[in-house]
Amino acid sequence: MAQTRKIAFIGAGNMPQSIIGGMVQGGYPADAIYASNPSQPSLDILKEKHGIHTSNDNIEVAKAADVIVLSVKPQIMADACAYLRENLPDLNQKLVVTIAAGIRIEKYHQYLGNDVSIIRVMPNTPSLVGEGFSGVVADNNASADDKNFVLEVFNYVGKTISITDEDDIDVVGAVSGSGPAYFFEFMASLQKAAEAHGLSSEDARAMVQQTALGAAAMAGKSELTLEELRKQVTSKGGSTAKGVEVYQEANIDQISERAVNAAVARNQEMAKLF
């Protein structure tokens, strides 16, 4: 059970919705969670579903909390930080966590002050169902206790890794942060292929998602490499070999490498832009 600190999410979009949902389901007290957003609908969902505190005013929730989680888009991070800095003279007494892609710790020190403790987290949306994956890296101001607290919070919603080299966060973002989108893209293509053979959309989707879940669960329980697990399915002279051959001919390794490189490059670009 994690220490309970009052935690305020600034921005209540898709990612904090997933994290907060997972936290409350995992047993983090809803009374210690706050969220702010300029528009009401996402706050209403959080309040009704999870019973957390909500407000349209970032300062109101930030004041109430010990930990502030910056959850706005990178494009508006500078403005959101400026507003906090102007209105919270005791910001250096709180812990600031950010889940934004790209923006580096050094920038947050410029935006919020060199004495503010910053921890960067790169989570992903499966946090909503307790199957998230997050990488966590801290600045030199944050204490070991601060970092442990953040790891514990994100352990409520999935698995975590502690990172020491900030550059690695861009890779975590490009693989597990963006990864659910890659898997959904692949699953949708398999679903379409099944439908093209006459299966109903419902059956095709059920078949694809259960297969993805089964494969991931098997990989999680097995000592074998992913390559060895693949070989177990691939009977010599059988049908899987023919299917796998098509992916290999299309050079699936190279496709994944290009996708990850493109996402890493965009994270590095955002570090310069915002």
Ligand X SMILES: NC(=O)C1=CN([C@@H]2O[C@H](COP(=O)(O)OP(=O)(O)OC[C@H]3O[C@@H](n4cnc5c(N)ncnc54)[C@H](O)[C@@H]3O)[C@@H](O)[C@H]2O)C=CC1
Ligand Y SMILES: O=C(O)[C@@H]1CCC=N1
Interface with ligand X by CB under 6 A: which residues?
Answer: 10-16, 36-39, 42, 58, 71-74, 76, 80, 99-101, 122-125, 177
**Residue 14 is labelled as binding a ligand:** yes
Q: Which does residue 37 bind out of ligand X, ligand Y, none, counting CB within 5 to 8 angstroms by kind?
A: ligand X
Q: Is 200 exposed, middle or buried (0-12, 13-18, 19+ CB in 10 A)?
A: exposed
Helix (H, G, I), strand (E, B) or coil at 162: strand
**Residue 58 is labelled as binding a ligand:** yes
Q: Which is nearer to ligand Y, 54 or 134 (CB)?
A: 134
Q: Quote the DSSP letter at residue 273.
A: H
Measure the CA–CA gap between 40 and 59, rounded to whole angstroms: 16
Q: Is 131 exposed, middle or buried (0-12, 13-18, 19+ CB in 10 A)?
A: middle
**Residue 20 is labelled as binding a ligand:** no
Sheet containing strand 158-162, strands side by side = 53-55, 33-36, 7-10, 67-70, 95-98, 117-122, 132-138, 158-162
Contact between residue 97 and residue 70 where contact means Cβ atoms under 8 Å apart: yes
Smallest gap, in angstroms, from Cβ of residue 66 to ligand Y? 26
Positions touching ligand Y (CB under 6 A) are 101, 173, 177-178
**Residue 7 is labelled as binding a ligand:** no
Q: Which does residue 172 bind out of ligand X, ligand Y, none, counting CB within 5 to 8 angstroms by kind?
A: none
**Residue 181 is labelled as binding a ligand:** no
Q: Which is nearer to ligand X, 36 or 191 (CB)?
A: 36
Smallest gap, in angstroms, from Cβ of residue 45 to ligand Y? 20
Annotated binding residues, written as ranges, equal 10-15, 58
Annotated binding residues for NADPH, written as ranges, equal 58
